[in-house]
Structure 1
């Protein structure tokens, strides 16, 4: 136990949950291993991205453009929003940290669904705020009525993860509109759209139109998933100017690297091929989920680039069985397993396993 005379962190620091990253694949002689544990894009960089990144590497002796002017301009043009309504960070997770830091005093409440993105309680606890976890419905959907009922005088932020990671379903525009009508105007609603490019459903949320109609809504998005830039860490928020300004004020100086900025700009320029790749992943997601349903599994609606197995206490056993056939998946102890959509061979191995695994 540390001496009381030594420097002590704030008490909340010792309470911060540990982030559990997806395991890398186990090397097995004679067997190609696959990683389906981190919702990564299985495709190589889009055309022009590697070249742009390599050119940026040649400037590694210089600091990044702290204003990220070219990337802000590219995003503003792509989404037809003012540049002052944008804020960059190291992935959408960096934006979540900044949002809680900028809008919550110690003890303030942050409401979110659970199970949802595991970085939420980490960011909230790091800011000495209080997590209010509202259980998802049995089908993995947000219980937006219960989330609205959970808002108190201490609530400063509500996080809506759509599609929800790791369970898969997304909220509809009608559901989000009804929820926003119940939220006090001083409460910030974060619509976390890390997987927005993969959504294929009736009445899908139009995040840009929604933020434009509300003074208390911010969208968080990322280049890590559909764009395949997980290793470069770049995400962006779209929000009213005062909210975006607050995010930029608390951002880490030079946080988004020169290489990440260049790669993101090049990725936006390769939109046509991006759409083709996303459609291919969506098609593979449908094939994979249909196979699981045919095998008798009750798999929630999947609107991200992953599917959810509600396994309870058998989650670790399923993950171990997947690892034995050369595929790593993401178990959540006592709850379930998330499996990313990856290479066809990897998905087929999980399908074969799922047909044999008790359920």
Structure 2
């Protein structure tokens, strides 16, 4: 049958025209005489530890389907974190776990109404995409001036259509983290039928971050979720463990939620290779955390120097720094490109810079000094 070239082409659902496109970090531009460094994707510049690399090089089971429940990984996580293995549901990165959650708890309804999902903005740029694809409505609450969540405003935005609330801590891309006290006071204001997600993709960097005098430590979701049947923790092996390309993450919650999440989970989302690499990362977590500690030390050096130069840098607990440059954002991004550094620019809001190799961090600070001297 011959197709009519003038006939209407298939069209996506109307929601697609309303969704932002996810913008992944780009590689650095080539500049003669300079090594390129990618500081745009919050990747671990050192990759996985040596023992994990050995697992990757010897893997020979790509022709076999993985265990859809990732039983070995969940068992290992259960031992490491002190939680019930039945409370853990794996996914393709923490984003995959989040997509499972949206598919399960928020969307469109038979009467044409949309469930609502509340989250801070700016925050992780995938949030509006996964919410929209689920058929739900985003309720974005502007961050406070210091880049942190406005929890009072988020609580005030709860309606009878609210189904999920996302707490990104540390917040990507601005960096501040919530404390346990803040989270618990917020949860008191949330109805028990609303799922509260504590997105801790950068938790390991929080765990070793130095504290100022009288400063409360960042929240550890594991200390909170046992007391709340509507709380879900999201974590990943992409950041601290350097497994971003393998896509393995997980959620932790009570059986009241996991029984439904497993139904909505994508079958075989975590490959056997990813599972084995994650297990090896757990077995060598001391080596992983040594690298994390080095990155945090580099982060603190960067923040200190940036403040000396006059930059308004929010307190960051992750492996990145936020520069709220406003209208000057594109100019800074172009200067970084000219120095073979890629950074993540957000329109005319600011620039997120990942902590990278020591040489990359030093060059970035040189760029920052040049930029502020010229302005």
TM-score over 0.5 for the pair: yes
Q: Is the 8 A contact 1:322 1:328 kept in 2?
A: yes
Q: Is the 8 A contact 2:47 2:242 kept in 1?
A: yes
Out of 266, 279, 282, the position equivalent to 1:265 is 279
Query: What SS does the corresponding residue of 1:221 show, helix, strand or coil?
Result: strand
| Structure 2 equivalent of residue 186 of structure 1 | 193
TM-aligned CA deviation for residue 244 of structure 1: 1.9
Residue by residue over 1:293-325, the C-alpha shift from the partner in whole angstroms, topping out at 9 and shown as x without a partner, is 000111000100000000112111111100101
| Structure 2 equivalent of residue 242 of structure 1 | 256
| Structure 1 equivalent of residue 25 of structure 2 | 22
Q: Is the 8 A contact 1:84 1:245 kept in 2?
A: no
Out of 63, 66, 69, the position equivalent to 1:67 is 69
Q: Is the 8 A contact 2:69 2:89 kept in 1?
A: no
Query: What SS does the corresponding residue of 1:231 show, helix, strand or coil?
Result: helix
| Structure 2 equivalent of residue 254 of structure 1 | 268
Matches within 5 A, 1:310-329: 310-329=324-343
Residue by residue over 1:185-222, the C-alpha shift from the partner in whole angstroms, topping out at 9 and shown as x without a partner, is 11100000000111124332121120111011000000
TM-aligned CA deviation for residue 242 of structure 1: 2.4
Q: TM-score, normalised by structure 2?
A: 0.92
Q: Distance in 2 between matches of 1:131 and 1:169?
A: 22
Matches within 5 A, 1:35-184: 35-56=38-59, 58-106=60-108, 107-184=114-191
TM-aligned CA deviation for residue 6 of structure 1: 5.6
Cα distance, 1:8–1:127 mapped onto 2, change above 3 Å: same
TM-aligned CA deviation for residue 44 of structure 1: 3.1
TM-aligned CA deviation for residue 281 of structure 1: 0.7
Out of 29, 32, 35, the position equivalent to 1:32 is 35
TM-aligned CA deviation for residue 67 of structure 1: 2.2
Q: Is the 8 A contact 2:47 2:241 kept in 1?
A: no
TM-aligned CA deviation for residue 4 of structure 1: 8.9
Q: Is the 8 A contact 2:93 2:249 kept in 1?
A: yes
Unaligned residue ranges in structure 1 (runs of 5+): none
Moved more, 188-197 or 68-77: 68-77
Query: What SS does the corresponding residue of 2:224 show, helix, strand or coil?
Result: helix
Unaligned residue ranges in structure 2 (runs of 5+): 109-113
Q: TM-score, normalised by structure 1?
A: 0.96
Q: Give the root-mean-square deviation of aligned CA atoms.
A: 1.5
